[in-house]
Structure 1
Amino acid sequence: MKMKMCSGWRSFLFVLPLIFFLPHLLSVMELHQNTSVHEPQKKLQKKFDHLVLGPAAGQGLSNRLQCQGTKALNRTRTSNSMSHLEDNIALVTVFTIYNSSLSNVEDRSSNTVVGDLTYNKVERSMAVLNVFINFIQVTMPRSSVIILTDPVSDLSLHRNRVFIYPVQGEYSRDKLMLQRIRSYITFLETKHQELSQRPGNITHYIFTDSDIAVVDDLGQVFRDHPNFHLALTFRNNKAQPLNSGFIAVRGTVDAILRAKVFLQEVLKIYSSKYMSASRMLGDQLALAWVVKSHPSFDASRFAKAQAFSEDIGGTSVLFLPCAIYNWTPPEGAGQFHGMPLDVKVVHFKGSRKRLMLESWNFYNSSPNIEDMLCLILGSGRTKYDF
């Protein structure tokens, strides 16, 4: 009897580790199966090194661009001619080249091929800047382009109506968004002093990212809205309703001063509250804080894509819908209802810059902006390589 009991205990002790190990083994096997199931989805996130066209979103919607392949079936631009605004317009952007990029120009491992051209990191940044200028000179040929840059940057850019404007500051990648606001303030301060001392022809300023394509004349902003000091673009996004990639400033002495004071407040909030997001988004969060903290401001107005004005601390701010003045092709899956017929600015954020270069190449071969917009619309769901 004792022998049987000992034998039973030995069997139990042998099985005991399996009782604890078996569930762990099954969990590992299940995890492996789940990983295998999701593996194809990971491959779908691969970025492409060429355009991938799909069906154009917004089919059947009367207020959206309709396309058949890369052929536009309806008009988009509301003005085929200039707005006949008597004042001048200058588009202003911040752009610099980093020393680390210059030292790696011989490194061919990070080269990018777009069409028949191969770019290293510096060349592709310059290509984006040149395409930015190209679109402006097509749609707004009487305007000028001003590039605010680090004094040590040699952009080697010699183009008509394009001016390099060095501004001392900290242009590191981690602080570039912060420096951008500082550069805007410095520029406005200089222009305010010049205009105060020598009143003359008015020049309105539109501060933008350099990865945008202006696809229609923007002079109508100042013509149709004659009383604002500063204009921002908004979207229906609770956390980040304002995008800093498009800021317009009326060129009067009063408007330039008020816009400068407004941006100084944004800079103060940025520096005190959002330095943890200094590389990205900090400026947009600071913009939203300054606007939404104003006692009379109704944030529910961001839900409807219609322009409106509001007095924010003595500055008359015009709010323009991103859908028209800062439209961004979606990247990857998500709800998407096409491109508005009256879109004026396309913003190629992030890795969409390949699409920006490809769009210009397409426009060069077939100079029809509506058809080019169909190319952008059909390519909007794809992740590209830079």
Structure 2
Amino acid sequence: MASSGKWRFIRFLPFILILPFIFSGFQLSRLQNSKPKGDGSVGVGRKKFDYIVLGPAAGQGLPNRIQCQGLKAVKRRPLPSFHLSLVKEKISFVTVFTIYNQSLQISFDQKVSTNVSVGNSTYDKTQRSMAILNVFANFIKVAMPRSNIFILTDPASNFPVVPSNAVVMHIPGDYSRNNLMLQRIKSYIDFLEARLSGHIGKQNQVDHFIFTDSDIAVVDDLGDVVENYPDFHIGLTFRNNKDQPLNSGFILVRGTDEAVSKAKAFLEEVLEIYKSMFMKAARMLGDQLALAWIVKNQPLFDAQRFRNPKAFVAEVHRAQVLFLPCAIYNWTPPEGAGQFHGMPEDVKVIHFKGSRKRLMMESWNFFNSHPVDFSDMMCLILKSGRVKYDF
């Protein structure tokens, strides 16, 4: 009898072994067929949307978070006015931006299929990039009207239109997609060298610089950072993330000669670590990994401070580094997990990474339709950003 039972088990063994695969296939099919629900919530499918999908505003009922009633903010946030104390000093923004030429062999039908519409405007891939750059510049015009923008780019790039508050600087280098993050650091270093050489800035005028991605929206004056922390050389934004605690999309440099020199040396060290240790992540994240390596390997540096979203200053690589919380100075609308945290009331910079570019465009259009303050626009952001968009 025992032998008979053994043979029955062996007979059904193949069926038992393939059961997990049958079940996993069923689960995959079910998830792939999931669709957005009527309340705006979204399944885990990868479908992209060409319109904003709204859901409940994140952070409702939590302290120190923006509260909304529909698309109306409960607490109004008036447009910022620039600090009168900064008449002799101002903050300029610096971004690396280039245009990639589309292949002439792409068919007309293929070109049409890549067009994207936002509101009453339709964009191809090149126009899409320029639209983001213009929105980036427009937010700065409103929040910090005295600020200029320096666009660092490939000498081969030819912009159809340059924002009125921007100056284009051609810096030779390799701006290919796979090398862009590495080139960005090189361009920042060249820019700081030009500043030290006297080619940027006027005599007796101190300009502070924020090196940033072009997919951010500045929604408050950042002059208070320069006022409140008079001794830093370079500023970085941090988050509570063990492997990538620092984000390279926002780097602040004080405009004194000493600070510019220290910041340049700091970025040169980042570049060397990047090239020697993190070239496998050259297209994405390599610079952030290099930043984290330098900071964490500094003697006596306490990485536990990244758990508390409060600004602090520490010496790193012979520079006084101001660490600013991403929650205020580099906040990103989450997708999916983390939505319940909401947006801090005192957020100053919103970073529309990755698929959030459409949300950046829609946010500007929403604000531009009734430019009283940024409050209601922030409610639009809180109720969206939950799916992969097509922009």
Structure 2 Cα separation of the partners of residues 102 and 134 of structure 1 = 32
The equivalent residue for 1:33 is 26
In the alignment, is residue 134 of structure 1 matched against residue 127 of structure 2? no
Moved more, 263-272 or 109-118: 109-118
The alpha-carbon distance between structure 1 residues 71 and 330, as it changes in their structure 2 partners (threshold 3 A), is same
Q: 1:176 offset after TM fit, Å?
A: 0.2
- Measure the CA separation in 1 of the matches of 2:383 and 2:20: 43
Matched residue SS, 1:336? helix
SS in 2 for 1:100: coil
Structure number with greater Rg is 1
3-state SS, counterpart of residue 194 of structure 1: coil
- Provide the TM-score with structure 2 as the length reference: 0.89
Q: Which residue of 2 aligns with 1:83?
A: 83
Match for residue 229 of structure 1 among 227, 233, 241: 233
Residues 168-194 of structure 1: per-residue CA shift (max 9 Å, x gap): 000010010000000000000110111
Match of 2:98 among 96, 119, 122: 96
What secondary structure is seen at the aligned counterpart in 1 of 2:49?
A: coil
Q: Structure 2 counterpart of 1:136, which letter?
A: I
Matched, 1:155 2:121: no
- When residues 116 and 101 of structure 1 are mapped into structure 2, their CA distance, relative to the original with a 3 A threshold, is farther
C-alpha separation in 1, matches of 2:196 and 2:224: 23
Change (3 A) 1:27 1:342: closer
1:65 corresponds in structure 2 to: 66
Contact 2:314/2:320 (8 A) holds in 1: yes
Shift of 1:37: 3.8
Range with bigger deviation, 21-30 or 66-75: 21-30
> Which amino acid letter does the alignment assign opposite residue 370 of structure 1?
S
| Residue 193 of structure 2 is aligned to residue 192 of structure 1 | no
The residue identity in structure 2 corresponding to 1:35 is L
- 1:370-381, aligned counterparts within 5 Å? 370-381=375-386
- Does the C-alpha gap of structure 1 residues 322 and 104 become closer, same or farther in structure 2, counting only changes over 3 Å? farther
Q: Distance in 1 between matches of 2:177 and 2:102?
A: 11
Deviations 1:148-175 (A, max 9, x none): 0000000133443310000000001001
Instruction: Return the offset for 1:81.
Output: 1.9
Q: 2:305 aligns with which of 283, 301, 308?
A: 301
Distance 2:360 2:202 in 1: 39
Q: Quickly say closer, same or farther: Cα 1:188–1:28, change in 2 above 3 A.
A: closer
| Percentage of identical aligned residues | 58
Secondary structure of 1:90's counterpart equals strand
SS in structure 2 of the partner of residue 136 of structure 1: helix
Shift in Å, 1:39: 3.5
Distance 1:104 1:95 in 2: 24
Tell me which residue corresponds to 1:218.
222
Letter in 1 for 2:168: I
Contact 2:59 2:339 in 1 (8 A): no
What does residue 280 of structure 1 align with? Answer: 284
Tell me whether 1:383 sits opposite 2:388 in the alignment.
yes
Task: Render the CA deviation track for 1:312-345: whole Å, top value 9, x for unaligned.
Answer: 1221100000000000000123353111111110
Asked if the contact 1:102–1:122 (Cα under 8 Å) also holds between the matched residues in 2, the reply is no
- How many angstroms does 1:89 deviate by? 1.6
**Counterparts of 1:165 and 1:328, CA distance in 2:** 28
Match in the other structure for 1:3: none
1:125 is aligned to 129
Which of 340, 349, 357 lines up with 2:344 in the alignment? 340
**TM-score, length-scaled by structure 1:** 0.90
Distance 1:190 1:225 in 2: 25
- Residues 32-82 of structure 1, C-alpha deviations (whole Å, 9 max, x = no match): 4333443444764422110111111111223110111111111346x7321
SS at match of 2:389: coil
- Residues 39 and 200 of structure 1, relative CA distance in 2, 3 Å threshold: same
In the alignment, is the contact (CA less than 8 A) between 2:171 and 2:187 conserved in 1? Answer: yes
Distance, in Å, in 2 between the alignment partners of 1:139 and 1:273 is: 39
Are the structure 2 counterparts of residues 151 and 103 from structure 1 closer, same or farther at C-alpha, using a change threshold of 3 Å?
Answer: farther
Change (3 A) 1:340 1:27: closer
Q: Which amino acid aligns with 2:292?
A: A
| Partner residue in 2 for 1:183 | 187
| Distance change (3 Å), C-alpha of 1:254 and 1:70 | same
More helix, by proportion:
1
Deviations 1:190-240 (A, max 9, x none): 101117997421111100000000011111111111111100000000100
In structure 2, list runs of 5 or more residues that go unmatched.
Answer: 1-7, 35-42
Question: Could you tell me how far 1:17 is from its partner in structure 2?
Answer: 10
CA distance in 2, matches of 1:158, 1:237: 36
Contact 1:65-1:75 within 8 A present in 2 as well:
no
Count the aligned residue pairs: 372
**In 1: Cα distance, 2:176 partner to 2:51 partner:** 30
Relative distance call for 1:186 and 1:38 in structure 2 (3 A) is: same
Q: 1:104 to 1:224 in 2, by over 3 A?
A: farther
The answer as to whether partners of 1:51 and 1:379 remain within 8 angstroms in 2 is yes
Unaligned 5+ segments in structure 1 are 1-14
More displaced stretch, 164-173 vs 97-106: 97-106
User: Is the contact between residue 137 and residue 165 of structure 2 (CA under 8 Å) also seen in structure 1?
Assistant: no
d(CA) in 1 for partners of 2:323, 2:44: 40
